[in-house]
Structure 1
């Protein structure tokens, strides 16, 4: 299995004959609106896609969406939709998102709604894991979505957490199912008011300690409301004794994992 970090939450999972694009935000730098109302109102994304992105995208066979409604353009933007339509990519998503994505002309393949059991997916199996994308008043306006736990023959098991804070349910899930690799948001995103809506440094360190496998951090240095820097997270991982267990890939970087 290979995992390539493109930008923000957008990644490519290379497993067997499949290249799975996760949550495509493909717009050029500064093409999308700000995510803060006060202070420095930067347009997003704040960095371009990596130079090798066109080559990487050319091999994609499938797409997987964790959440996309209520204006979450950082997981599926207009450029991402155009690209998926033009390449007739199969878009795997929850039943909740299926009608929304069909209305946008995408080739939708809905997954089963049951969170409790795994279901067939490509040449393996998948199950959904509920996310909590912020709490309190902010949480009421968020699309909470899901994470995905995937297992393929002869490959490491993979948990893509989706946008979530570290909840007791997420901690229990990784302790029980022991994914070999976990891909989690680590940018500490927050709006002008309220608490973090995804994991920040403290939560990612706690997650990596609870996870028996390797944790990859993404959702970093791409959006104006995500303050966590890669250098700070890497330093915190080293300080916590998580060298080799918490990895912070650069945009465009590919990491390979074996079962």
Structure 2
């Protein structure tokens, strides 16, 4: 298994001969609107795609979407939609997102209606895990989406958490299934009002206590409402004794697992 961090939540998975693009945000730096108004009004993304992105995208065979509605351009933007449509890439998603994506001309391959149970996926199995993308007033405005557990013969099990807080659902799932590799959001995103809408440093460290596997942190240093930095997270992991299991890849970096 190889996992290449592209930018923010966008990654490319190399599994069993397939190359799976996850949550493509492909716009150039500054092409998307700010996500905070009262703080510094920075346009997004904050950084360009890495040089390695072009070659990584050329080999993509499938796409997997965790959530995409209610303005979540940081997981699927117009550039990502256009790229997928022009190439006819099969887009795997939940039944809820399928009509939304089909209306945009994508080659949609929705999971079965009972997608919380394991179902066939590229020679292995996939199932979804509910996300909690914020709570309270802000949570009611969000598209909560799902995470995915992918199990392939000869590969470690892989949990893509999606955009979520460390909810009781996520806690219970990780303790029960103990995925070999987990990819989690770690940017501590928040708007001008309300609390965090994804994990920040404290919840990442708590996640590390629950998980026995390798954990990869992303959703860092690319979107204006995510204050956590890679250095901050790596320092916290080292101080907590998790430096060998918590990986914080840079944009363009590929991890072999």
TM-score when normalising by structure 2:
0.99
Q: Where in structure 1 do 4 or more consecutive aligned residues deviate above 3 Å?
A: none
Match of 2:238 in 1: 238
Match of 2:62 in 1: 62
Name the residue aligned to 1:152. Answer: 152
Could you tell me which residue of structure 2 aligns to residue 8 of structure 1? 8
Query: How large is the Cα RMSD of the aligned pairs?
Result: 0.7
After superposition, what is the alpha-carbon deviation per residue over 1:96-150, rounded to whole angstroms, capped at 9, x for unaligned?
A: 0000000000000001232542000111000000000000000010000000000
Measure the CA separation in 2 of the matches of 1:155 and 1:39. Answer: 43
Shift of 1:217: 0.1
Hey, what's the Cα distance between the residues in 1 that align with 2:100 and 2:243? 41
SS of aligned partner of 1:24 = coil
- Give distance in 2, aligned partners of 1:217 and 1:70: 24
Q: Which residue of 1 aligns with 2:128?
A: 128
Match of 1:17 in 2: 17
Residue equivalent to 1:210: 210
Query: By how many angstroms is 1:244 displaced?
Result: 1.3
SS at match of 2:96: helix
The change in CA–CA distance for 1:116 and 1:26 in structure 2 (over 3 A counts) is: closer
Q: Could you say which residue in structure 2 is the equivalent of 1:81?
A: 81
Counterparts of 2:122 and 2:244, CA distance in 1: 30
Say if 1:216 and 1:248, in contact at 8 Å, map to a contact too.
yes
CA contact (8 A) 2:186 2:200 kept: yes
Alignment of 1:154-169 (within 5 A): 154-169=154-169
Aligned residues: 257
Residue 129 of structure 2 aligns to a residue in which SS?
A: strand
In structure 1, the gaps of 5 or more residues are none
* C-alpha distance in 2 between matches for 1:187 and 1:124: 30
**Contact 1:115 1:130 survives alignment (8 Å):** no
Question: Residues of 1 paired with 2:116 and 2:59: CA distance?
Answer: 32
- Native 8 Å contact 2:94 2:115 kept in 1: no
Kindly indicate whether the alpha-carbon contact (under 8 Å) linking 2:10 and 2:23 is maintained by their aligned counterparts in 1.
yes
Note the residue ranges of structure 2 that are not aligned, 5 or more in a row.
none
Decide whether the 8 Å contact of 1:93 with 1:111 is kept in 2.
yes
Q: Indicate yes or no: 2:109 matched with 1:93.
A: no
- Structure 1 distance, partners of 2:192, 2:177, is 36
Inter-partner Cα distance in structure 1 for 2:229 and 2:39: 19
* C-alpha distance in 2 between matches for 1:115 and 1:92: 12
User: What is the match of residue 222 of structure 1?
Assistant: 222
Name the CA distance, whole Å, in 2 between partners of 1:88 and 1:172: 37
TM-score of the pair, normalised by structure 1? 0.98
Contact 1:114–1:128 (CA<8 Å) still a contact in 2?
Answer: no
Counterparts of 1:237 and 1:184, CA distance in 2:
14
Q: Deviations over 1:152-196 (max 9, x none)?
A: 000010000000000111011011001000000000000000000
Instruction: State the distance in 2 between where 1:145 and 1:184 align.
Output: 14
For residue 251 of structure 1, give the secondary structure of its aligned residue in structure 2: coil
State yes or no: 1:43 paired with 2:43.
Answer: yes
- Aligned partner of residue 100 in structure 2, secondary structure: helix
